[in-house]
Amino acid sequence: MTDALAGSPGEPVPVLAPAPSPAPEPPPAKEPAADAEPKRDLAAEAEMYAIMYPRRARLIRAHGGLPHTIDFGPPDPELVPFIVHGKTPELLALDAEVLHEAAAAG
């Protein structure tokens, strides 16, 4: 009976092909370096500056940049153009305040 399973004597025994190896895993996605600085949202920073320092922001917008003489620490130079030209609600409200003050004064 075992002869029936093994095949005839002298007959080659079939060899099974090895199972295919699994596909290699793709390399993990590169994570940003821990010491890399995140991108700054300068428009949001300019709006926050206007909320925190409305008088300073009004002066900077009215002058079109930093005045030559100021009595406060200047904002980051990268932030000044966003304060001057920003179109966020808080920055636009500063313009309305300047117009209101000018109309009241004169």
Tens of pLDDT along the chain (106 residues) come to 555 555 566 677 667 777 777 777 777 777 666 667 788 999 999 999 999 999 999 999 999 999 999 999 999 999 999 999 999 999 999 888 766 666 777 7
Of 3, 7, 23, 24, the residue nearest 15 (C-alpha): 7
pTM check: above 0.85: no
Calpha distance 54→52 (Å, rounded) = 6
Task: Yes or no: say if 55 and 36 are a contact pair by the CB < 8 Å rule.
Answer: no
CA distances for 26 relative to 20, 22, 32, 33, 63, angstroms: 18, 12, 18, 20, 55
**What residue type is assigned to position 101 of the chain?**
E
Tokens of 11: 């007959």
